[in-house]
Amino acid sequence: MRLRHVLLAAIVAALSGCSSDEDETSIVLTGSSTIAPLASELGKRFEALHPRVRVDVQTGGSSRGIADARSELADLGMASRALYEDEHDLKAYTIAYDGVGIIVHRDNPVRKLTDKQISGIYTGEIANWNEVGGRDAPITVVNKAEGRSTLELFLEYFTLESSDIEADVVIGDNEQGIKTVAGNPDSIGYVSIGTAEYDAGQGVPIKLLPLSGVDASTANVRNGTFPLSRPLNLVKKTRPQGWVRRFVDFARSPAARNIVTSQFFVPIAQ
Amino acid sequence: MLIWVLRVCATLSGAIIILILAFLVLESLPALRHAGLAGFFTDASWHPTENLFNLLPMLWGTVLAMTGAVLIATPLGILSAVFCHYYAPPVIARQYRRLIELLAGIPSVVYGFWGLVVLVPLIGRLHPPGPSLLAGVIILAIMILPTIALMADAALANVPVQYLRGAHALGLSRWATVRGVVFPAARSGLYTGVILGAGRAVGETMAVLMVCGNVVQMPVSLFDPVRTLTANIALEMAYALGDHRSALFVSGLVLMALILVLVAAAERFAQNHIHV
């Protein structure tokens, strides 16, 4: 009998010992797989700054992020799009922008393409550059591998299905896409604007084509005029408090800038 | 005491293989259950986000790239070993062997990078787009050449010297000795080298990913881009979720099956130790 009491007391003491340690918290983020790698990098840096905080990132798509934020299953939802009309009960905090630019070789005489021409090229209806004002050469279509967020955004903008695309080359990451286009004067591809702008500035022979008359630049992605782009949002039902607020503030601070650019996203204006 | 150390080591190495296999099967199960094993060979195409999982074009891509590379690298590798052993002056032979050993040590991504910036644009000028089965075959051939050459070298070194003396006493020419005595005697070693090279070609990922174009299709010509099973996993794993992810593990399983066939073949040849 006495032994049992002692045990019980020990357990109670142990449990209260855990809960009294108030600084030991975890922040749970769920949602978009586009934001997840960025969020977990931000989380790592945040954990290094605040050793008592754990940042837990789970994927499942933007819709799960919205749903979990609404039901408060997660501390923060991740949504790689702007909020819809019926979602304004939630608060969105943009931590970065994702922009996709169409690239061709620098020596390609084509200066611009309409949206219809681009989707024509990617579905195989347009197979030669001379059909869109270029020289007489077959077009090499460079596409992204299935599951990549750039592919997703590209398909959504041009309202295409993945199976509609007739590709000549399929690439993985942005750098491989840029190297492929730089090595083939008759190719066309699409990559994250941040990477393309940086590489073009470093003398890699590629150029970004404007879309609907708007230049593809990180500046235009940031000010929202470039059409093939989207905000990366952290969403929450109520105004964030405590550690969650500090995490959101950190993600939007100048300190997070280099993490954002290292993931090929465009940082928000400071 | 020693026997127990040995037992533990053996059990550990065995257990790792079994665990990997079990893990592969376990991770493949969701996709196998939803699409069925047949789906991976009869679906219309590979569009995993639209639940179409046909792996056949990629299996062909892997097999064709491997076959092409083996066809080029085998004669080169074996004949260079013959040169080294029976024709070259000892000084040159030693330097030459060093070079081949160096070639074997170059990381595959270096070959891939070279292929991407030199070979692919070159093929592109010849016959656009450039990234193609041909580029993959050439890169793989260069990569497995040292494996085959070194294995052939070792096999030739193992030919009993009495055989050579006998052939010499019969007044056979050097080439006749090589063809009629050395090759049959070293046969199993030569085969093993070729199969090891083939295994390396099947498993290669980075270099192939960089030069092959990775379009999922049945190639009709050498200039068509192809995707191999290894490239498929490397390309899509980073963002794959649910059944898509599971389907990539099925790619891995098919790859394992292919390697199993190669190992079984190697085993068979290794048993044939008959010196004709």
β-strand pairing of A266-267 with A91-105: antiparallel
The candidate with the shortest Cα–Cα distance to B58, out of B133, B145, B141, is B133
**pLDDT cut 90: percent of chain B above it:** 63
Q: How far is CA A110 from CA A128, A143, A199, B202, in A?
A: 12, 19, 20, 40
Across the interface, whether the CB atoms of A179 and B117 are under 8 A apart is answered: yes
Residue B225 Cα, gap to closest chain A Cα (Å):
7
Q: Mapped to the 3 state alphabet, what secondary structure does B254-275 carry?
A: HHHHHHHHHHHHHHHHHHCCCC
Hunting for tokens 């090279």 — which residue is that? B197
Tokens coding B17: 């293989």
Residue A131, pLDDT score: 93
B102 has pLDDT over 60:
yes
- Residue among A163, A169, A186 minimizing CB distance to B225: A169
Distance CA B241, CA B224 (A): 29
User: Hey, which residues does A142 pair with through a beta bridge?
Assistant: A169
pLDDT at A33 over 80: no
Contact status of A169 with chain B (Cβ, < 8 Å): yes
Does A170 sit within 8 Å of B215, measured CB to CB?
yes
Instruction: Using CB atoms, pick whichever of A60, A146, A168 lies closest to residue B129.
Output: A168
What share of chain B has pLDDT > 70, as a percent? 96
Nearest CB among B48, B209, B213 relative to A146 is that of B48
Beta strands in chain A (DSSP E): 25-31, 53-59, 76-79, 91-105, 140-144, 169-171, 187-192, 206-209, 229-236, 266-267
Q: What is the mean pLDDT of residues B238-256?
A: 85
Question: Among A80, A107, A108, A146, which would you mutate to test the B interface (most chain B Cβ atoms within 10 Å of its Cβ)?
Answer: A146
Q: Are strands A76-79 and A25-31 parallel, antiparallel or unpaired?
A: parallel
From the centroid of its chain, how far is CA B55?
A: 19
How far from A137 is each of A14, A133, B124, CA to CA, in Å? 75, 11, 12
Interface contact A127, partner B, CB < 8 A:
no
Q: What is the pLDDT of residue A184?
A: 87
Tell me the mean pLDDT in the region A51-80. 88
pLDDT at A18: 45
∠ CA A40-A201-B123, nearest 5°, is 95
Q: Which residues contact B68 (CB under 8 A, 6 or more apart)?
A: B133, B136, B137, B140, B141, B222
CB contact under 8 A, A187 and B49: no
Shortest distance, CA A83 to any CA of chain B (angstroms):
23
- Tell if the CB–CB gap between A184 and B130 is shorter than 8 Å: yes
User: Do A169 and B244 lie within an 8 Å CB cutoff?
Assistant: no
Residue A34, min C-alpha distance to chain B (Å): 8
Task: Give the B-side interface with A, CB within 8 Å.
Answer: 45-50, 52, 116-117, 120-121, 124, 128-131, 209-210, 213-216, 225, 227, 234-236, 238-241, 244
- Contact flag A140-B129 (C-beta cutoff 8 Å): yes
Helix axes B133-157, B56-82, angle to 10 degrees: 40
Question: B214 and A147 in contact by Cβ < 8 A?
Answer: no
Report in angstroms the alpha-carbon separations of B124 from A130, B65, B140, B207: 19, 18, 18, 17
Q: Do B52 and A163 touch (CB under 8 A)?
A: yes
- pLDDT-based confidence at residue B34 (cuts at 50, 70, 90): confident
Tokens of B119: 């070979």
Q: Enumerate the residues of chain B whose CB falls inside 8 A of the CB of residue A60.
A: 241
Handedness of CA B110, B114, B119, B120 (dihedral sign): positive
State mean pLDDT over A164-191.
88
Nearest to A163 among B50, B213, B239 (CB): B50
Beta bridge partners of A144: A171
- B-chain residues within 8 Å CB-CB of A146? 46-49, 236, 244
Residue A239 has pLDDT above 80, yes or no: yes
| Contact predicate B205/B230, CB 8 Å | yes
Q: Does A221 touch chain B (CB under 8 A)?
A: no
Chain A positions in Cβ-Cβ contact with residue B116 (cut-off 8 Å): 176, 179-180, 183
Q: Which chain A residues are within 8 Å of B205, Cβ to Cβ?
A: none
Q: pLDDT grade, residue A16 (50/70/90)?
A: very low
Closest approach of chain A CAs to the CA of B55, in angstroms? 14
Cα–chain center distance at B30: 30
From the list B239, B117, B28, B78, the residue with the least C-alpha distance to A148 is B239
pLDDT at B272 over 90: no
| pLDDT at residue B249 in the model | 93
Question: Least CA distance to B133: which residue of chain A?
Answer: A169
Q: Among B192, B184, B158, which Cα is nearest to B176's?
A: B184
Sort out which chain A residues have CB atoms less than 8 A from B131's CB and list them. Answer: 168-169, 180
Closest approach of chain B CAs to the CA of A13, in angstroms? 41
**How many angstroms away from the CA of B261 is the closest CA of chain A?**
29
What local confidence, expressed as pLDDT, does residue A23 receive?
Answer: 57
Q: Is pLDDT at A191 greater than 60 in this prediction?
A: yes
Residue A21's SS3 state is: coil
Q: Supply the ipTM of this predicted assembly.
A: 0.73
Residue B51 pLDDT exceeds 90 = no
Lowest mean pLDDT among A135-144, A210-219, B107-116, B234-243: B234-243
Going by C-beta distance under 8 Å and a sequence separation of 6 or more, which residues neighbour residue A193?
A: A99, A100, A101, A208, A216, A217, A218, A221, A226, A229, A266
